[in-house]
Amino acid sequence: MAIGISVDHLTHAFAHNGAALRVLDDVSLTVTPGEMVCLLGPSGCGKSTLLNVIGGLLKADSGEVRIGDAAVRGVMPQRVGFVFQENALFPWSTVWENLIVGLEFQGVPPAERAARAARALEAVGMSDFAKFYPDQLSGGMKQRIGLARALALQTEVLLMDEPFAALDEQTRMILGEDLSVLLSETGKTIVMVTHSLSEAVFLSDRIFVMTARPGRIKAIVEVKREHPRRPDFMTSTQFNDVRGELYTLLHDEMRAAAAIAPA
């Protein structure tokens, strides 16, 4: 069963040149169980920092994050899975071995590992590549394996940090369609960081638009469309209207981010 996420009055700063560089400023949001949301904002606004705090990879200076009924005090491998831009596959291990080692780290009993790995590979259409090594796969295939590894862990929450950013546009579109199908089938709670307006509209139930640094929640945009979403959604009036709304919200923030001195 999916669980929700709550972020309450989160603030965080990094030490930089002997001073505190505030990245997040009083950020609050909620993600309902089974919802897919995107964090969208200009570069440097704290999207990835916020995601890392939610996942317990980083401790905020103030505020609280809860996943389900539990306060986040560190990583929660039984509840939270990650998919990053860099697939982080072990190059010396086969696809199958990469999935199995993640299950070993999670403490899954040996008798369950093979069944979980097989189901996850089937879900992302990679069953025929179990014996391949990462250097034998395309970028899109590697990202499918990264997603399969996260799915095999069977966590209720999935956090994704620009997982398709390094891929060509056509591959991103296909993987986006597949992710929408997986969302409808698994009902996971997913938070995804992206710079792509189109990706955010196609995948999200809601989009949290962030300001330039220090990041705050400027607006929440809802996309009223059931999953799975089909390619024709991208040519619909609704899609273009929401994308236009996002561009309007982000325009001044992108200008403001460009004017901020480099961190």
Beta strands in 80-196 (DSSP E): 80-84, 157-161, 189-194
Q: What's the average model confidence in pLDDT over 13-37? A: 90
Confirm if 106 and 100 have CB atoms less than 8 A apart: no
Residue-wise pLDDT tens digits, 169-195: 888 888 888 888 887 888 899 999 999
Does the pLDDT at position 153 exceed 90?
A: no
Give residue 143's domain range. Answer: 88-154
Q: What is the CATH number of the domain that holds 171?
A: 3.40.50.300
Same domain, 71 and 24: yes
Starting at the earlier edge strand, list the strands of the sheet with 217-222. 80-84, 157-161, 189-194, 36-40, 206-210, 217-222
* pTM recorded for the entire structure: 0.91
Same domain, 147 and 179: no
What are 199-203's contacts with CB under 8 Å, separation 24+?
199/38, 199/164, 199/172, 200/38, 200/40, 200/246, 201/239, 201/242, 201/243, 201/246, 202/176, 202/229, 202/233, 202/234, 202/239, 203/36, 203/38, 203/176, 203/179, 203/229
Same domain, 227 and 252: yes
Same domain, 95 and 217: no
Residue-wise pLDDT tens digits, 202-218: 999 999 999 999 999 99
Torsion of CA 227, 38, 95, 152, to 10 degrees: -60
Same domain, 73 and 135: no
Residue 85: the pLDDT is 77
